Amino acid sequence: MEYTTLGDTGMEVSEICLGCMSFGGGREWTLDREESEALIDRAIDLGINFFDTANVYSTGESEEILGSALEGYDRDRQVVATKVFGEMADHPNAQGLSRKAIEQELANSLDRLGMDTVDLYQIHRWDRDTPVETTLRTLDDAVRRGQVRYIGASSMWAHQFAEALHTSDSLDLERFATMQNHYNVLYREEEREMLPLCDRENVGVIPWSPLARGVAARPHEEVAATTRGETDEYLQGMPYLQGGGEEINERVEELAAEYGISMAQVALAWLLDKERVDAPIVGTSSVEHLEDAVEATEVDLDDSDVEYLEEPYEPLPIAGHE
């Protein structure tokens, strides 16, 4: 496994981050506790030290599973990231980024993880109802209390992220060290504004759905028949195969055949080739696919392959945030 420095944190993370959204009950495509723990064990065997979960994944169960799976390992070796924003209970202060919501949710996340400190605490979305200064002061306090080591953000408009960075700098508060955004070979809208901003601000980039929720990992005509293709409503709303998407998917398949590797490896190698990307957050429910993702860190695409994959892309509607 190769390791990389996450943004300007100085913290070393594996080039593949294991996404934990598929852990815990509730949906057809998620794994139960035992299966999830086996996948986490294999990830650690393979050298993965970076895990991304959220309070909302399986309504807290993903955090519980990750925490109990890591219990048997040296905590110092693992980099654990979680998130706050989404609705966790049926009352108005169990969501959003107010001081009340963040402080309650952080305590709940640490409790479920069974940890005193989380390495990276991310805001899952922008909260239009809370001034960003309030959110940043709350996160800064959490860092000072030792509950959080670094703070990060996830999908939002670049102007919002720029405002947050400017606010933290002008008030001398902890600044967002990472951006977890929606970026893959079939969805590249982040190249317009967000990625250049992250580059300029030395913010680490950890893309979510790096395989376009599986659409970049198999021929497009097969996607609808997979469990996730049939049941993941979020996937069904994604524009991955619009514009030049089908053509890109076919080119991923063609290059995979040419190099004798999997489509997932071509799609991940394309992302890992981007200097601004630190570690894609891969989601999988299979040990074989996890191993495939780790092997992708050894694949080098030629510049001509990258150009070939990118050439059919057409602008897409924004997907993943409002």
Contact pick of 15, 284, 297, 305 for ligand NAP (by CB under 6 A): 284
Burial class (CB in 10 A: 0-12, 13-18, 19+), 139: buried
49 lines the binding site for ligand NAP (CB under 6 A): no
Coil, helix or strand for 132? helix
Question: Which residue, among 148, 67, 66, 70, has the nearest Cα to 102 in the 3D structure?
Answer: 148
Q: Which of 192, 286, 298, 315 binds ligand NAP (CB under 6 A)?
A: 286
Our finding on whether 36 is near ligand NAP (CB under 6 A) is no
Q: Do the Cβ atoms of 159 and 192 come closer than 8 Å?
A: no
CB nearer ligand NAP, residue 188 or residue 213: 213
Measured in residues, the chain has a length of 322
Where does this chain touch ligand NAP (CB under 6 A) — which range of 36-44, 187-195, 209-217, 251-259? 209-217
Q: Give the one residue of 186, 289, 294, 297 binding ligand NAP; rule: CB under 6 A.
A: 289
| Residue among 153, 54, 154, 178 at smallest CA distance from 108 | 54
Residue 51 contacts ligand NAP per CB under 6 A: no
168 scored as a contact of ligand NAP (CB under 6 A): no
CA distance linking residue 76 with residue 132, whole number of Å: 31
Place of tokens 């070393």: 12
User: Looking at 80, 153, 212, 238, which residue binds ligand NAP (CB under 6 A)?
Assistant: 212
Size of the site for ligand NAP (CB under 6 A): 29
150 binds ligand NAP (CB under 6 A): no
Minimum distance, C-beta of residue 58 to ligand NAP, in the bound complex (Å): 11
Q: How far is CA 216 from the centre of its chain?
A: 16
21 binds ligand NAP (CB under 6 A): yes
Binding status of residue 70 toward ligand NAP by CB under 6 A: no
Q: Which residues inside 113-142 make contact with ligand NAP, applying CB under 6 A? A: 124
Is 82 near ligand NAP (CB under 6 A)? Answer: no
Shortest Å distance, C-beta 217 to ligand NAP: 4
Is there binding between residue 209 and ligand NAP (CB under 6 A)?
yes
Confirm or reject binding of residue 204 to ligand NAP (CB under 6 A): no
Sign of CA dihedral 128, 132, 133, 135: positive
Q: Are strands 79-84 and 176-180 parallel, antiparallel or unpaired?
A: unpaired
**Which residue in the set 175, 218, 220, 251 belongs to the binding site for ligand NAP (CB under 6 A)?**
218
- Determine the Cα–Cα distance for residues 80 and 63; give it in Å rounded to an integer: 10
Residue 7 is a binding residue for ligand NAP (CB under 6 A) = no
Residue 203: burial class (beta carbons within 10 Å; 0-12, 13-18, 19+): buried
39 sits near ligand NAP (criterion: CB under 6 A): no
Distance from the Cα of residue 96 to its chain's centroid: 19
End-to-end CA, the chain? 35
Determine if 154 is a binding residue for ligand NAP (CB under 6 A). Answer: yes
Residue 313 known to be catalytic: no
CA dihedral of 21, 25, 29, 34, whole degrees rounded to 10: 90
CB 198 to ligand NAP: min, Å:
15
Q: Tokens 């200097």 correspond to what residue? A: 275
Which region, judged by CB under 6 A, interacts with ligand NAP, from 96-104, 131-139, 208-216, 240-248?
208-216
Q: Please report, as ranges, the residues that interact with ligand NAP according to CB under 6 A.
A: 19-22, 52, 124, 154-155, 180, 208-214, 217-218, 228, 262, 264, 281-286, 289, 292
Indicate which residues carry an active-site annotation. Answer: 57
